[in-house]
Copies of this chain bind each other. A is one copy, B any other.
Amino acid sequence: MIDVLIADDHQLLIDGIKTTLDDVPDINIVAEANNGLQVLKILQSKKIDVIIMDINMPQMDGLDCTKAVCKKYPDTKVVALSQFDEKRFVKKMVKNGASGYLLKDSGKDEIVAAIRKINSGEKYFCERLSINIINRELSTLDSKSLFPQLTDREIEVLKLICKEFSSPEIADSLFISDKTVENHRANLIAKAGVKNTAGLVRWAVENDFVD
């Protein structure tokens, strides 16, 4: 039996999925939430196998919630549910730990297949993702190897570099030495596999570390 939580701010959609999955014997909808905070609250008391997670939610969205869930409850799998088949969202969700991606107009078979696959530890990406090219990329690689693992501080520095801050300016705004910033910058350049700050910024923009 797979215990599933549905998180979406549209109750209609939750009801729709519940109805759809009503007669599936091995899938059990045991909880629902309308935003990311509710998800975290439910996880404190209930053990959940798979979360069907909308990306756009108030208070705490699916991106941040997925990140939090995958960190605190690594056994709980997340499948993203969205109306957009946008490269950025897909990549971002996978980066945050999601095991799969479904579009909101997916059929019953697809949803059921996704839940089963993901519960068994596999990945599942909706066939109709416009960028099918990245399917293979994403399903073979996991969130750790997809991107070099940047530390929180490195991401912080990277974002400031992309906002045209110089090393001394970053040092001032983070209350650290400019030598430390230069170290972070060098590590970022190495991790991104680029040659200089220009390459780093391009890599950051193309891999959604900005905005």
- The stretch that binds B, out of A18-26, A111-119, A197-205, is A197-205
Partner of A162, one of B56, B83, B84, B202: B202
Distance from A158 Cβ to chain B, minimum over Cβ atoms (Å)? 10
**When the two chains form their complex, are residues B130 and A194 in contact, meaning their CB atoms are under 8 A apart?**
no
Distance in Å: Cβ of A73 to nearest Cβ of chain B: 28
User: How many A residues face the partner with a CB closer than 8 A?
Assistant: 24
Task: Produce 1/0 per residue, A167-211, CB < 8 A to B.
Answer: 000000000000000000000000000111111111011100010
Identical chains bound together, number? 2
**Closest residue of B by beta carbon distance from A210:** B202
Contacts of A200 in B (CB 8 A): 198
CB distance from A170 to the nearest CB of B (A): 11
SS of A interface (majority): loop
Q: How far is the CA of A199 from the CA of B159 in the complex (A)?
A: 11
- Interface presence of A15 (CB below 8 A): no
A164 on the interface (CB 8 Å rule)? Answer: yes
Contact A164 B198 (CB under 8 A): yes
Please determine whether B130 and A164 come into contact, CB atoms closer than 8 angstroms. Answer: no
CB pair A162 B86 closer than 8 Å: no
A130, closest chain B residue (CB) = B56
A10 vs chain B, min Cβ distance (A): 11
Q: Give the 5 A-B CB pairs with smallest separation, nearest first.
A: A164-B199, A164-B195, A201-B201, A205-B205, A198-B201
State the A residues within 8 Å of B (CB): 56, 83-86, 130, 161-164, 166, 194-202, 204-206, 210
